Amino acid sequence: MEEPEQGTTPQHMRDQEAYVAWKRKNSIARITLLSCMQDDLMCEFEEYETAKGMWEALKEKFGATSATKLRRLNQKFNDFKKRPNQSMRQHLRVMSNMIRELKNAGQIVSDEQQIQAVLRSLPESWDHMRVQMTHNVNVKTFEDISRHLELEDERLEAAKPFNEANVASSISGLKRKRGNKGNKAPYQTGLKKQNKFAKRGKRGGKKDKTNVKCYNCGLLGHFARECTEAKKVSLNSTCKYAYVSSCVMLAESHPLWIVDSGATDHVARDREAFVEYRRIPKGSRWLYVGNNSKVAVLGIGTCQLHMRGGRTLILHDVLNAPEIRRDLVSVLALLKLGFGLNFHDMCLNITLGSVFFGSGYACDGFIVLDCTTNITSSNDDRCFSYITSSTNVDMNVWHSRLGHIAYVLNLVPSKSVTSTPYELWKGRKPDLIHLRLWGSAAFVRDTSHPHGKLGPRGKKCIFIRYSEHSKGYVLIGEHSDGSVTEIESRDVTFLENDFPRRGEIDKEFHLQEMEDPTNVAPTNQSVEVGESSHELTQLSGRETLVSDPHTEETQEFEVRRSSRGNIPRRRFEIEGEAFMVAMHDDLEPRTVYEALSCPNSDEWNDAIGEELESMKVNQVWDLVDLPPERRAIGNKWIFKIKRKADGSIDRYKAHLVAKGYTQQEGIDYEETFSPVVRFAVIRLILALVAGLDLELHQMDVKTVFLNGELEEEIYMEQPVGFVVEGQERKVCKLKRSIYGLKQSSRQWYFRFHRAITSYDFTMIDEDHCVYVKSTGQSFVIVSLYVDDILLAGNDMEFLMTIKKWLSSHFEMKDMGEADYVLGIKIYRDRSRKLLALSQESYIRTILERFKMLDSNPIETPTAKGESLNLDMCPKTPNEKREMEKVPYSSAVGSLMFAI
């Protein structure tokens, strides 16, 4: 636009204003274009005075769709190949960019052309996928083939540990042949070996193996006995196993589920393994196996695998193929469902998101899921035949085998009833902690000490059954003359991987029948407990560990006694209350490793999983590289047991807490504030509730601090014990506040304040954590104490509306009517308009903490405002020493919390 002529007429004035506006817009457009250019381009195009001229020059330089450029793009697209070190996702992303460039240049690439180009780009190792995609009618677009190829790439990545293990086993299996003189070069599979020396007659040269064909791998140049490839095993092999599963369930009733990276579907042999089952016409579906044969599929259904730790893995579309020798879990099918599978050192960890789901272990060269199925005890005869063939004990103790099987079957679910036979008879769930493998080796404690003080204290025996008279085990021991003695004992150490035969037990076995004099329940390890063990086991509260003294008198044994006199043992008195505290399994762990190894590990594992899942749902952080000159703050796990008013456990809570004390003011945070309503205000609200007969309800905010959004840029180390494999050097860039950050409480309060004031609540000036809303004759008072919300109102319907609104804006837990708030028990008599508060549990805790439980209570407390003076201070040395035991500041702070 050219500059208009100067003048005073209205037209001249309008032209002048339009020119000024155009000039301003032109400058903005030029600056915008120049700011998007590199330095060399900026120098080339900054000479253009108008944005239009600059844009035309850019189009002429970079927007040309010449035939030469189009041919170059087409040739690059058609000849593109996947690089060996490039993942399939990266490869497909590059091809997608090339398709976009062709479209921008005016070349329309059809879906079929895109699919053909992708198939041409695959290497030879992907020929199987090239054939599958060519004949797959459902692959119609670039996105379809990309999805299939990415899933196959994930399957191949998951199968790498298996391939590495097979290569390692093949290499370790190479052995030199005896009788060979001199050194031989290693065999090279598939290559013709060149003789270094010429033949000299029949004796002087080696046999020419150029045309020799291997019967194992089919290649030339070596015999099958010299082949380094894995030996082929027929599916009809009749190999047997000399042990049963370590979970005490027999192989037929609880089969092993093999994790197979090559299987496309889950496969189960036994019809009983299915919880849902649908038959299919015979011959309508086949399953192809590794030896190029096929087996018939009889049905499709759903199986439930109960993983160790309490989680259940549900497998859908499982094929029922009885001819398959192993039950298979498809890695590809699990990956499609979003599971993560991590193979390391022949072990498997299964995760769902960031939550640990289950594991697998190595067994006979396979990875086996650590789980049990829903198969019930309907195959009792097969159980006996399997346990007979899988152990080394002679058949002359067949009755013990049957007794062991009957004992175990009474503890597992049955088809005829909804629970276990044991539960129907006893009225309680069975405890399986004492179960052991039948026929396994075990060491029995020998009290006769025939070999002196330093001699062995245990004798090797074979476990055959459980005692019918006591909570012990019955074992057989072998004498030097070959005779066998049955021994009943409680003090037994089992070796459940050792299954000895007769004659291999113990050649130096010189024991008579004996009974262990201790009264300890069966455990995995040998423990010595004296006569007071009855009292201790009864205090433990576990019924399976309590010994009944009357059961010992039902059968008498000839016990071999030592000729030496008994020396009384020194015994220690254990206070019952202290022992009960020590025996509690609900102590709060201090570290994540302690939590996952304590008796309540399942509950703590669920709590950790819930916390990590909340972090994932709320998108708390992103994994990034730590910028230079920045420091990542640490974190730790805090474990708390929420209790009810009577002291019983309500729930287990695990919080990932940032180490906020390492934050630097001005860098990691600016201000701090904690939304805590004053106790004086709480007492006032409770007084209004009692006097006006108001409704009083309570709500709890789940993962409260995750609701606050951070204003500062904060980096944190990955959660302790849950570092992402392969990304150990990355850190978490926090997008939301979490526990432990100095500004977390403040950010949560701002979020809550904005939300509740937008719903026409009014904040009370006297306490910024109290809000009031009224509509007509109805009103509600809301008080906030970090994550605890107390609601009081005169209209239940209006109160429920407020609770519903809060639940829609925050993840809440409705606690119903308030009866236990901030450690205070609320007793209420609405007919008399009375409300009482009790902190008995808290006061008892602080009295116990400061060792004042024996103090005498009085009716009148200390007057408010009474000041301490010098006369109240300790005078004598004894009083001063006693005073030093009390942490004064801590005691005063604890008393101030008691209202």
Q: Cβ(58)–Cβ(43) under 8 Å?
A: no
Element (H, E) at 757: helix 744-757
Q: Which two tokens stand for residue 780?
A: 């509600």
Strand partners, 493: 443
**Within-domain flag for 559:** no
Q: Cβ(464)–Cβ(397) under 8 Å?
A: yes
The single residue listed with the structure tokens 């998007």 is 36
47 and 101 co-located in one domain: no
Rounded Cα gap, residues 519 and 471, in angstroms? 9
Strand partners, 695: 793
**Within-domain flag for 229:** no
Of 118, 134, 153, the position where a domain reaches its end is 153
pLDDT, one tens digit per residue, over 139-152 is 888 888 888 888 88
Q: What's the per-residue H, E or C state across 56-88?
A: HHHHHHHCCCCHHHHHHHHHHHHCCCCCCCCCH
The distance between the two most distant Cα atoms of the chain, rounded to a whole number of Å, is 136
Write down the pLDDT at residue 532: 31
**Within-domain flag for 550:** no
Nearest to 874 by CA among 861, 889, 885, 863: 885
**Which one has a higher pLDDT value, 119 or 859?**
119
In this prediction, residue 801 has a pLDDT band, given cuts at 50, 70 and 90, of very high
716 and 796 co-located in one domain: yes
Q: Which two tokens stand for residue 891?
A: 């005691």
Name 730's Cβ contacts closer than 8 Å, sequence gap at least 6: 623, 624, 625, 626, 718, 724
Average pLDDT over residues 571-590: 45
Sheet holding 621-624, edge to edge: 621-624, 731-734, 715-716
Say yes or no to pLDDT of 502 above 90.
no
- CA atoms within a 13 Å half-sphere pointing along the CA-CB vector of 572: 3
Say yes or no to pLDDT of 156 above 80.
no
610 and 723 co-located in one domain: yes
Average pLDDT over residues 622-647: 83
**755 CB-contact burial (10 Å; exposed 0-12 / middle 13-18 / buried 19+):** middle
Q: Which two tokens stand for residue 775?
A: 């509509």
Q: How far is CA 646 from CA 122, 634, 661, 838, in A?
A: 67, 36, 35, 12
Lowest mean pLDDT among 144-148, 197-201, 323-327: 197-201
462 and 330 co-located in one domain: no
Q: Is the dihedral of CA 615, 617, 620, 626 positive or negative?
A: positive
Domain count, the chain: 5
For 70-90, b where at least 16 C-beta lie within 10 A, e where not — what string?
eeebbeebeebebeeeeebee
Q: Which two tokens stand for residue 456?
A: 């062995």
In this prediction, residue 790 has a pLDDT band, given cuts at 50, 70 and 90, of very high
In this prediction, residue 382 has a pLDDT band, given cuts at 50, 70 and 90, of very low
Most confident of 51-65, 420-434, 724-738: 724-738
Residue 745: what residue type?
S
Average model confidence (pLDDT) across the chain = 72
Rounded Cα gap, residues 76 and 68, in angstroms? 12
For 463-477, b where at least 16 C-beta lie within 10 A, e where not — what string?
bbbbeeebbbbbbbb
Tell me how crowded residue 248 is: count the other CB atoms within 10 A of its CB: 18
Calculate ∠ Cα 827-831-836, nearest 5°. Answer: 20
Average pLDDT over residues 357-378: 72
Q: What's phi and psi for 742, nearest 5 deg?
A: -65, -30
Calculate ∠ Cα 511-512-517, nearest 5°. Answer: 95
Tell me how crowded residue 362 is: count the other CB atoms within 10 A of its CB: 13
Q: What is the CATH number of the domain that holds 283?
A: 2.40.70
634 and 759 co-located in one domain: yes
Percent of the chain residues topping a pLDDT of 90:
5
**Within-domain flag for 195:** no
56 and 71 co-located in one domain: no
Rounded Cα gap, residues 739 and 745, in angstroms? 8
Say yes or no to pLDDT of 727 above 70.
yes
**Within-domain flag for 347:** yes
**Which one has a higher pLDDT value, 311 or 652?**
652
Percent of the chain residues topping a pLDDT of 70:
70
**Within-domain flag for 100:** yes
Say yes or no to pLDDT of 700 above 50.
yes
Write down the pLDDT at residue 899: 61
772 and 814 co-located in one domain: yes
Of 61, 86, 107, the position where a domain reaches its end is 61
Say yes or no to pLDDT of 772 above 90.
yes
**Within-domain flag for 564:** no
390 and 462 co-located in one domain: yes
**Within-domain flag for 885:** no
DSSP, res 135: H
Rounded Cα gap, residues 323 and 296, in angstroms? 8
Average pLDDT over residues 480-496: 78
Nearest to 589 by CA among 579, 601, 581: 601
Rounded Cα gap, residues 91 and 81, in angstroms? 9
Of 128, 153, 178, the position where a domain reaches its end is 153
Structural domain boundaries, residue 83: 67-153
**Which one has a higher pLDDT value, 850 or 250?**
850
Average pLDDT over residues 790-807: 91
Say yes or no to pLDDT of 39 above 80.
no
347 and 462 co-located in one domain: no
The single residue listed with the structure tokens 């009370």 is 764
pTM, to two decimals: 0.34
Lowest mean pLDDT among 130-139, 293-302, 402-411: 402-411
Write down the pLDDT at residue 550: 37
336 and 389 co-located in one domain: no
754 and 772 co-located in one domain: yes
Tell me how crowded residue 739 is: count the other CB atoms within 10 A of its CB: 18
Nearest to 92 by CA among 24, 13, 42, 148: 148
Say yes or no to pLDDT of 678 above 90.
no
616 and 505 co-located in one domain: no
In this prediction, residue 518 has a pLDDT band, given cuts at 50, 70 and 90, of very low
In this prediction, residue 196 has a pLDDT band, given cuts at 50, 70 and 90, of very low
In this prediction, residue 55 has a pLDDT band, given cuts at 50, 70 and 90, of confident
